[in-house]
């Protein structure tokens, strides 16, 4: 078992959460450099409306002006994770694992694969069949069905010295209208969905959080320190 410090930060400003991540990331990295690889964090939170663009992203994938951003009460950040543009907002679970991958025996590729499986397993609890899409990170529905492929969870990470930050954004009761202002993850031919849209009712957000936490523990062999 790997001991992991778990925190639920609740609804928190994106920049505040990013700064908090950076502090924990530096802490884990410094401990690792001193030979102590046993420090890991898992953070859950929810953000007010915000768009984030990864290092490999294109600004043109944000389809609206600064004035429109203000009108829809959203902010925009160019950040240091991989991937393109995505949206965070109320009704979405954001998970930030800050992990020493070497201590967990994981490569970056296997880490992302396991995170995808956490979401796949969690969705299966609710009867939603999901899968991976070749050439794209995250978790998708109706993979291979032309015109119907849609993403329910975006994944974008940063790793330095095999310590991770950033993570995943899982659409639970998310207002999907906000995705219409971007090309999500750079795609122009694929959709976005949520558990609420797929199931036809508002999902118990806190219940999903608990199930997600359970599936993280199962896939990564975590034992939580609260």
Catalytic, 45? Answer no
Instruction: Please pick, among 45, 122, 153, 185, the residue that the annotation labels catalytic.
Output: 185
In this structure, the chain runs to a length of 226
| Three-state secondary-structure class, residue 63 | coil
Q: How far is CA 153 from CA 71, 87, 88, 133, 174, in A?
A: 26, 11, 11, 12, 11
- Closest by CA to 3, choosing from 116, 104, 108, 114, is 104
Q: b or e along 67-85 (b: 16 or more beta carbons within 10 Å of the residue's beta carbon)?
A: eebeeeebbbeebebbbbb
**Residue 163 exposed, middle or buried by CB count within 10 Å (0-12, 13-18, 19+):** buried
Per the CB < 8 A criterion, the answer to whether 123 and 195 are in contact is yes
Taking the C-alpha atoms of residue 147 and residue 134, their distance in angstroms, rounded to an integer, is 16
Per the CB < 8 A criterion, the answer to whether 197 and 172 are in contact is no
Q: Which residues are catalytic?
A: 185
């Amino acid at each position: 078992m790997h001991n992991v410090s778990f925190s639920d930060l609740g609804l928190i400003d994106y920049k505040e959460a990013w700064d908090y991540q950076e502090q924990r990331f530096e802490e884990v990295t410094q401990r690792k450099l001193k030979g102590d690889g046993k420090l890991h964090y898992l953070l859950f939170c929810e953000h007010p409306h915000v768009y984030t663009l990864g290092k490999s992203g294109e600004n043109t994938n944000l389809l609206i002006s600064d004035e429109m951003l203000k009108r829809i009460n959203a902010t925009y950040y160019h950040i240091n994770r991989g991937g393109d543009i995505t949206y965070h907002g109320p009704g979405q679970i954001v998970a930030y694992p800050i992990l020493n991958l070497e201590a967990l025996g994981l490569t970056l590729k296997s880490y992302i694969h396991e995170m995808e499986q956490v979401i796949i397993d969690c969705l299966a609890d609710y009867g939603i069949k999901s899968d991976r899409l070749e050439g794209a990170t995250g978790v998708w529905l109706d993979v291979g069905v032309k015109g119907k492929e849609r993403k329910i969870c975006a994944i974008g990470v940063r790793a330095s010295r095999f310590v991770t930050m950033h993570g995943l954004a899982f659409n639970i009761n998310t207002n999907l209208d906000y995705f219409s202002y971007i090309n999500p993850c750079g795609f122009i031919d694929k959709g976005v969905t949520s558990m609420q849209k797929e199931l036809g009712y508002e999902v118990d957000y806190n219940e999903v959080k608990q199930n997600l936490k359970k599936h993280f523990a199962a896939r990564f062999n975590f034992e939580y320190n609260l």
